[in-house]
Amino acid sequence: MLITIYLIAITAEAMSGALAAGRRNMDIFGVAFIAFVTALGGGTIRDMVLGHFPIGWTQHPPYIYLVISAGLVTTLFARFMHHLKTVFLVLDALGLIAFSLIGCEVALGMGYAPVVVIMAGMITGIFGGILRDVLCNQVPVVFRQELYASVSLAVCSLYLVLRDLGLGTEANTLISFGLGLALRLCAIWRGWKLPTFSYRQRWD
Amino acid sequence: MLITIYLIAITAEAMSGALAAGRRNMDIFGVAFIAFVTALGGGTIRDMVLGHFPIGWTQHPPYIYLVISAGLVTTLFARFMHHLKTVFLVLDALGLIAFSLIGCEVALGMGYAPVVVIMAGMITGIFGGILRDVLCNQVPVVFRQELYASVSLAVCSLYLVLRDLGLGTEANTLISFGLGLALRLCAIWRGWKLPTFSYRQRWD
Amino acid sequence: MLITIYLIAITAEAMSGALAAGRRNMDIFGVAFIAFVTALGGGTIRDMVLGHFPIGWTQHPPYIYLVISAGLVTTLFARFMHHLKTVFLVLDALGLIAFSLIGCEVALGMGYAPVVVIMAGMITGIFGGILRDVLCNQVPVVFRQELYASVSLAVCSLYLVLRDLGLGTEANTLISFGLGLALRLCAIWRGWKLPTFSYRQRWD
């Protein structure tokens, strides 16, 4: 099930990347590139940080075709997409959580310490969007949004705690997924945000 | 022969990096750094993504001296360089194609799937310029230029097809190189570009 | 001793990252993230470039807690921090040099060539700040500051030369540290800078 959600999620992420590329008037190569990086960049950075080679997508060529196609198709239907805003937000939430849990599993399988497992989950969940924003020359939106990275943090932590309590992987995944999704959707719906830190002082 | 072209190409790329650094008023350390990243960054990212350690330039100190020297020398002769615009465009085209073919070879030697081989070639060809632009705080030009990444894509694909058809490496390199160079120079000369995707709608 | 200085240094770097995040009005997740990247990003990039897995901080969870806490605490005391400007500059100088020497040691232990050892030291010393600035969407300050990367270069080179002359690691560290610190503090005090390269010509 996590795989199905994963495929839906990378498709949705690729589409969000394509729209960001369109806002910068990129050519269709740029669109495909940003779509790829948004969808698969998080897992790539996670694997590079953990030393987990070969990197995931290099062993799954269909994922590559999927996200590039999703990016290119987006250019055709972009004008209708704002009608689907809610759908996208839900798909993105699904993706955030699926990515996080998959990232945790990879790090667990390599025997990393719990805090590194959590960070691996968060890197997988949010780094695609960070790379997208850096390549589009803007401050990453994930640093200023409604609870987003925090949802990833909560999901990963919950997953580890339940795992320590002896819960099986399937039940654990279901519970973590459900609670994480609820938290993210509530955060969007109610506009929950983390407190912001504004610093204006100049030192010179 | 590919090695000679490679050395010429990293020199030219280092010089283009140095000029970009000059446009941002960097100090000569910044110039050397951006020159290095522009020339050798593509291969570095490729090796990090493929898990191909040790990374190329760490085993070839002379390459490091070459690109840093090229960057620094550029600061002395920069004012005359726009007379050499055509020369630079040709050297850059040589580099793009040499980098792409070398990237393919590395990935082939590690047994990756064809689509990953092509992506390794493209990463090697274009990522130096992407890193240069990100460090100089601008949207990467490669996402908006005349056929550039697409030339890399075409060269890598052709190389793989001819290889599958049983052509020897030398003949294959020559043919792929020649056709790729012709394509890139035509694209510059005629201003061929990919279609652009512009997206203005705001969702909120 | 290098470890103590290292811990002080990553704390100071994390605080500088948090302030940079505050200048961009990030939320506290962004603050923690930028603090982490500023403090531990240099070592991360070094390990990824050298193929030195597992990466340092993944084996030392307390470092992770330390830098994230330092980042978050900074948001509480930020308004008083400009009184500590001098303290920060000294801590940052300590950090630059400690990072550089640690980076050299890692590369030496892996048998890399001297120029790569020096680059590993410099990457460790300066890449945290580069990542901080890229994520905050500005041209890295390290490319335009008073002698900074150059101090790292000088310290790493001196360390290698003294090592070749047969000096023991402890004495070598002490001497390189002292001279490097003196050089950096002089550079701040006297405003020593590298010459800048400004290039305005447009080619089209």
The domains of chain C are located at 2-190
Nearest CA in chain C to A193: C27
How far does C194 lie from chain B, in Å, by closest CA? 6
Whether the predicted pLDDT of C45 surpasses 90: yes
For residue C157, which of C111, C112, C122 has the smallest C-alpha distance? Answer: C122
Average pLDDT estimate for C7-27: 91
Contacts of A140 in chain B (CB under 8 A): none
- The string over C37-67, giving b where at least 16 C-beta atoms fall within 10 Å of a residue's C-beta and e elsewhere, is bbbbbbbbbbbbbbbbbebbbbeeeebbebb
pLDDT of residue C52: 96
Residue C80: predicted pLDDT:
82
> How far apart (Å, rounded) are the C-alpha atoms in residues C22 and B14?
35
pLDDT band at B204 (very low <50, low <70, confident <90, very high): low
Structure tokens at A187: 């955060």
Percent of chain A past pLDDT 70, that is, above it, reads 99
Per-residue pLDDT at A181 exceeds 80: yes
The pLDDT value recorded for residue C191 is 86
State the pLDDT at residue C82.
78
Distance CA B34, CA B18 (A): 6
First vs last Cα of chain A: how many Å apart? Answer: 56
Cβ pair C27:A193 closer than 8 A: yes
**Measured CA distances, C159 to C163, C177, C179, C180, C185 (Å):** 6, 9, 10, 10, 19
Chain B CA closest to residue C143:
B30
C-alpha B68/C-alpha B54 separation (Å) is: 20
pLDDT band at A160 (very low <50, low <70, confident <90, very high): very high
- Those residues whose C-beta lies under 8 Å from the C-beta of residue C96, and which sit 6 or more positions away, are C9, C125, C126, C148, C151, C152, C180, C184
pLDDT of residue B46: 97
**pLDDT value, residue B203:** 64
In chain B, the percentage of residues whose pLDDT exceeds 70 is 99
Separation of alpha carbons B112 and C155, rounded Å: 41
What integer is the mean pLDDT of C52-58?
Answer: 95
Return the closest-CA partner of residue A32 out of A73, A78, A80.
Answer: A73
Confidence grade of residue C174 (pLDDT, cut at 50, 70, 90)? very high
Contacts of C119 in chain B (CB under 8 A): 64
Residue B19: which of A32, A166, A139, C202 has the closest Cα?
Answer: C202
**With contacts defined as CB-CB under 8 Å, which chain B residues touch A33?**
143, 149
Alpha-carbon distance of C159 to C140, in angstroms, equals 26
Report how far residue A202's alpha carbon sits from residue B190's, in angstroms, rounded to the nearest whole number: 50
Residues 6 or more apart whose Cβ sits within 8 Å of residue C119: B64, C107
Please tell me which residue, B82 or A137, carries the higher pLDDT value. Answer: A137
From residue C40, alpha-carbon distances to B76, B147, C127, C130 in Å are 36, 39, 9, 12
Whether residues A26 and B144 touch (CB distance < 8 A) is answered with yes
DSSP code for C197: -
| pLDDT (tens digit per residue) in B15-30 | 989 999 998 999 999 9
CA distance A195 to C11: 22
Q: Is the peptide bond before B62 cis (omega within 30 degrees of 0)?
A: no
Contact assignment for C137 to A142 by CB distance below 8 Å: no
Look at residue A99 and tell me whether its pLDDT is greater than 90.
Answer: yes
| Rounded Cα–Cα distance for residues C139 and C150 (Å) | 18
**Cis status, amide bond into C195, omega within 30 of 0:** no
Asked if C199's CB is within 8 angstroms of B19's CB, the reply is yes
User: At A118, which amino acid appears?
Assistant: I
Summarize the confidence of residues C28-44 as an average pLDDT. Answer: 95
Is residue C144 pLDDT above 80, yes or no? no
Question: B120 is written with which tokens?
Answer: 């390794």
The neighbouring-strand residues paired with C155 are: none
C140 backbone dihedrals φ, ψ, rounded to 5°: -50, 130
DSSP B193: B
Helix (H) or strand (E) holding B23: helix B2-23
**Nearest neighbour of C116 by CB, restricted to B29, B58, B75:** B58
Q: What are the backbone dihedrals phi and psi of residue A58, each rounded to the nearest 5 degrees, phi first?
A: -65, -20
Q: Do B139 and A44 touch (CB under 8 A)?
A: no
Measuring CA to CA, how many Å separate A78 from each of A27, A179, B144, B148, C54? 14, 31, 19, 25, 42
Residues C137 and A192: their CA atoms lie apart, in Å, by 25
Q: Which chains touch A (3 or more CB pairs under 8 A)?
A: B, C
Q: A8-12, A43-47, C131-135: which has the highest mean pLDDT?
A: A43-47
Residues contacting C80, CB < 8 A, separation 6+: none
**Predicted-complex ipTM score:** 0.88
pLDDT grade for A201, boundaries at 50, 70 and 90: confident
Q: Using the beta-carbon criterion (under 8 Å), do A135 and B138 form an inter-chain contact? A: no
Task: Give B89-113 pLDDT, tens digit per residue.
Answer: 888 889 899 999 999 999 999 999 9
pLDDT at A203: 63
pLDDT (0 to 100) of residue C119: 96
Mean pLDDT of C124-135: 92
pLDDT, average across residues C105-116: 96
Residue type at position C133: D
Give the pLDDT band of residue C123 (cuts 50, 70, 90). Answer: very high
pLDDT band at residue B119 using 50, 70 and 90 as cut-offs: very high
Looking at the predicted structure, is the pLDDT value of residue C197 above 70? yes
> In whole angstroms, what is the distance from residue A9 CA to residue A2 CA?
10
pLDDT at B87: 84
Cβ contacts of residue C87 below 8 Å, gap of 6+? none
**DSSP states of B61-91 as a string?**
HHHHHHHHHHHHHHHHHGGGGGGGHHHHHHH
**Higher pLDDT residue, C85 or C97?**
C97
* Nearest chain B alpha carbon to C202: B82
Inter-chain CB proximity A27 and B198 less than 8 Å: no
How far, in Å, CA of A12 to CA of A8, rounded? 6
**Is residue A144 over pLDDT 80?**
no
Give me the percent of chain C exceeding a pLDDT of 90. Answer: 67
Question: Rounded mean pLDDT of B144-167?
Answer: 92
Q: Which two tokens stand for residue B109?
A: 């030697």
Percent of chain B beyond pLDDT 90? 67
- Cβ contacts of A138 on chain C, cutoff 8 Å: 137
pLDDT, residue B175, reads 96
pLDDT of residue B72: 95
pLDDT of residue A91: 86
* Statement: residue C54 has pLDDT above 90: yes
Average pLDDT of the residues in A165-184: 94
Decide: C120 and C146 in contact? Cβ < 8 Å: no
Q: Which two tokens stand for residue A107?
A: 């790090």
Between residues C159 and C84, which one has the greater pLDDT? Answer: C159
Residue for token digits 């270069």? Answer: C153
Please check the confidence at residue C89 and state whether its pLDDT lies above 80.
yes
What is the structure's pLDDT at C204?
A: 58
Q: What is the largest CA-CA distance in chain C?
A: 57
Q: Is the pLDDT of residue C114 over 80?
A: yes
pLDDT band at A86, cuts 50/70/90?
Answer: confident
Distance CA B190, CA A148 (A): 46
On chain C, the residues whose CB falls within 8 A of the CB of A114 are 61
Q: Is the dihedral of CA A8, A11, A16, A17 positive or negative?
A: positive
Interface test with C, best of A138, A143, A151, A198 (most C CBs within 10 A): A143
**What does pLDDT average to over chain B?**
91
DSSP letter for each residue of A32-68: HHHHHHHHHHHHHHHHHHHT-SS-GGGG-HHHHHHHH
Q: What's the rounded Cα separation, in Å, for the pair B198 and C125?
A: 40
Amino acid present at B194: L
User: What is the overall mean pLDDT for chain C?
Assistant: 91
Amino acid at residue number A111: G
Question: Using a CB-CB distance cutoff of 8 angstroms, which residues of chain C are in contact with residue B46?
Answer: none
Q: Which tokens sit at C136?
A: 């905050």
For residues A51-67, give the mean pLDDT.
96
Q: Is A3 left (phi over 0), alpha (psi -120 to 50) or beta?
A: alpha
Q: Which of A197, A200, A202, A203 to probe the C interface (max C CBs under 10 A)?
A: A197
Give the C-alpha separation, A67 to A64, whole Å: 6
